[in-house]
Amino acid sequence: MKKSLALILSGLMAVSVLAGCSSSTEETTAAASEAETTTAAAADAETEAETEAETEAESEAEALSGAVATDGSTSMESVIGILGESFMQEYPDVTFTYNPTGSGSGITAVQEGRCDIGLSSRALKDEEVESGLKGETLCLDGIAIIVNPENPVEDLSIEQIGKMYTGEITNWSEVGGNDEEIVLIGREAGSGTRDGFESITGTEDACQYRQELTSTGDVITTVSQNPSAIGYASLSSISDSVKAITVEGVEATEDTVRDGSYKIQRPFVLVTKDGEELSPQAQAFYDYAMSSDVADLIAQAGAVAIH
């Protein structure tokens, strides 16, 4: 009898333990199921939000139309060209135009309302800011010092460059080159490239140019055709037809411009009227150009993105 009672009690305890285990397993399974449901719901919500954002962006792109007119720096041609082309792919009903007239002309065009956005390869002057203009740096650009590929000179100091352009050094033999007269090539008055070059080399209003040309491309072509010539041009525009020499031992590259070790550099600036709203399409381009999304495009154009 006692033995039977003991067996009965033992059986009841076993059932109780099994029931407890079953209950615990069910609770664990339920908790796991609930967690999976919550995770799935969160993922669905995130996907839905991304889809809504993409749809909204597509709708905005489809709704935007009209024209965006830019005017100014010829040095910015590569950068503005690639940004304008990419922008029109994003906004197919918007027409983007670029008029390469030089920094000074681009600034004037904004003042006179002949374009939406001016392009300047120098910072705005105090008097230009006081006249109601606003400039924001899009990216940085090195001003390469270029010579003909046949020229044996590989490096110059900023002091030597300055003395060459002011007429204190007149023969290439004085800086380790051939016994030839130095032919000084530069840009026209009002050029952002010229302004940047002269301010850095300390040669403002003192350069004795043989030729003053109206575009970066003309400077490069002229230097490429004259073994005795020296010129300066935007790093983003340099071709194999000329040789960019090092300045104080530093090569003009994206990295040396970014870290400041290459000293002859300047900003590429977008210019607008301060306090005056742009058209929706012009504002869309401005925001696009200033976003971090286009850093790779700016790099492809040979300039240094800062956003």
Q: Would you write out the chain's pLDDT as a tens digit for each of its 307 residues? A: 444 434 433 443 443 433 444 444 455 555 555 656 666 665 666 666 566 555 555 556 668 999 999 999 999 999 999 999 999 999 999 999 999 999 999 999 999 999 999 999 999 999 999 999 999 999 999 999 999 999 999 999 999 999 999 999 999 999 999 999 999 999 999 899 999 999 999 999 999 999 999 999 999 999 999 999 999 999 988 999 999 999 999 999 989 999 999 999 999 999 999 999 999 999 999 999 999 999 999 999 989 999 8
Q: What is the rounded distance in angstroms from the CA atom of residue 75 to the CA atom of residue 192?
A: 8
pTM, to two decimals: 0.70
- Do 107 and 169 fall within a single domain? no
Residue 246 shares a structural domain with residue 190: yes
Does residue 16 form part of some domain?
Answer: no
Q: How far is residue 161's CA from residue 39's CA, in Å, rounded to a whole number? A: 65
Judgement on whether residues 235 and 148 belong to the same structural domain of the protein: yes
Q: Is residue 122 domain-resident?
A: yes
Whether 19 is in a domain gets the answer: no
* Within a domain: 18: no
Q: How far is CA 80 from CA 136, 187, 199, 215, in A?
A: 15, 20, 24, 15
121 and 153 co-located in one domain: no
Domain presence at residue 53: no
Question: How far is residue 51's CA from residue 144's CA, in Å, rounded to a whole number?
Answer: 46
Claim to verify: residue 105 and residue 167 sit in the same structural domain? no
Domains identified in the chain, total number: 2
What CATH number is associated with residue 283?
3.40.190.10
Same domain, 128 and 172: no
Residue ranges making up the domain that contains 149? 141-265
| 284, 135: one domain | yes
